[in-house]
Structure 1
Amino acid sequence: MSIEEIDAKSVEQFDPYRVTGLWHIIATNHNMWKNKLTPTITYSIHDQLPDGRVRMNNLVEYYSKQLCVGYRPTSIEGIDTQLSIKPSRYQWRGSGILKFFTNESGFIFVDNETASDRPYQWIAKIYSPTIFSSGGIDLMTRTRQPPTHVLNDFVQFCRDDSIIRPRSANMFYTREKAGNEIYYIRDLQLD
């Protein structure tokens, strides 16, 4: 996904304060999640820059399989800095050893049902490639079992958009499934 496409697809209306808290990555096409369990992202406000842009702490947590010991908790920390292009556009920079790495992202699908004074309940974010991942799309919800209409609306959103459609074709569910089987989002049937 090019930076220009991320700019074009990111939503116009976005409130970073409504995105704070824990998010479950429900569907994704990031290959890094295929052998990980229950990935989550927690956003919290880091600070506000003098020009009004917001920086958010970004904590990614998941279980990673390690030889001889099974699944162990793992985390990646960084800071998302809001860009002046749109309120929904961000640049991630890693923390600690990862501080030399950046990533462009944008929120492309945002809860439009919850009152504006309440936290969003579902969002989708698109990422540019890095040396560690090919980039992609994450659908995130507050609960691991979102309402069916949210999944269906997201699938329809992906099918209707000429830029998003080809990039969402290989999305899969990250929910725990029997036998470690991967379920692709294209298998979800619309009502």
Structure 2
Amino acid sequence: MSIEDIDGASVEEFDPYRATGLWHILATNLNIWKNKLTPTVTYSIHDQLPDGRVRLNNLVEYYSKRLCVGYRPASIEGIDTQLPNKPSRYQWQGNGILKFFTNESGFIFVDNETTSDRPYQWVAKIYSPTLFSSDGIDLMTRTRQPPTHILNDFVQFCRDHPILKSKSANMYYTREKAGNEIYYIQDLQID
């Protein structure tokens, strides 16, 4: 995913304060999630820069399968810094041992039903590749059971968007259980 693709697909208006809190990664095509269970992201405000841009704490939590012991909780922490060109564009930098790693991202699909004084209820984010993961897209919702029209709207949005049409291929639902079956969006969407 090029920087130009991320810039072109990211929404023009975005309020980072409405994005704070817990998000469930409901659907994705990032290869990092194929063998993980119930991935979530929690955003909180880290600080505001002198030019008004916001930095968000980014805590990713999931269950990862470990040899001989089964699934165990794991997490990745970092900070998303809002970029100056668009309020929906961010650069992630890891914390601790991951501080040398960065990636680019942008919010591409944002809740347009909730009033502006309330938190977003769904968003989608596009990512550049890292050493640990392919580039791709996450659809995140506040609950693991969002209204059906959210998924349908997202699928239609991806089909109609010139950049996302090919970039959203092979998106699948993240798993809640340790089963081997992965459900792909095209199999579950309701037309």
Could you tell me the TM-score, scaled by structure 2's length? 0.98
Runs (4+) of structure 1 moved beyond 6 Å? Answer: none
2:96 is aligned with 1:96: yes
Query: What is the Cα-based RMSD across aligned positions, in Å?
Result: 1.0
Give the whole-Å Cα distance in 1 for the aligned partners of 2:129 and 2:158: 19
Post-superposition Cα deviations, 1:108-137, rounded to whole Å, max 9, x if no partner, equal 000000000000000000000111111100
Q: Give the whole-Å Cα distance in 1 for the aligned partners of 2:62 and 2:178.
A: 18
Q: Which residue of 2 aligns with 1:123?
A: 123
Q: CA deviation at 1:22?
A: 0.1
Please give the alpha-carbon distance, in whole angstroms, between the structure 1 residues aligned to 2:19 and 2:109. Answer: 12
Which is worse superposed, 119-128 or 181-190? 181-190
Deviation at 1:85, TM superposition (A): 0.7
Q: For residue 190 of structure 1, report the CA deviation from its aligned partner.
A: 3.2
**2:19 corresponds to:** 19
SS state of the match for residue 63, structure 1?
strand
Structural mapping, 1:1-191, within 5 Å: 1-176=1-176, 179-191=179-191
Per the normalisation by structure 1, the TM-score is 0.98
How far 1:163 moved relative to its partner?
1.1
Structure 1: runs of 5 or more not aligned? none
AA aligned opposite 1:36: K
Task: Answer whether contact 1:169 1:186 (CA < 8 A) is retained.
Answer: no
Provide the rounded CA distance (Å) in 1 between the counterparts of 2:164 and 2:177.
26
Deviation of residue 71 (structure 1)? Answer: 0.3
- Number of residue pairs matched by the alignment: 191
Asked if structure 2 preserves the Cα contact closer than 8 Å seen for 1:63 and 1:74, the reply is yes
Q: Contact 1:144/1:175 (CA < 8 Å) preserved in 2?
A: no
Amino acid at match of 2:94: G
Identical positions, percent: 84
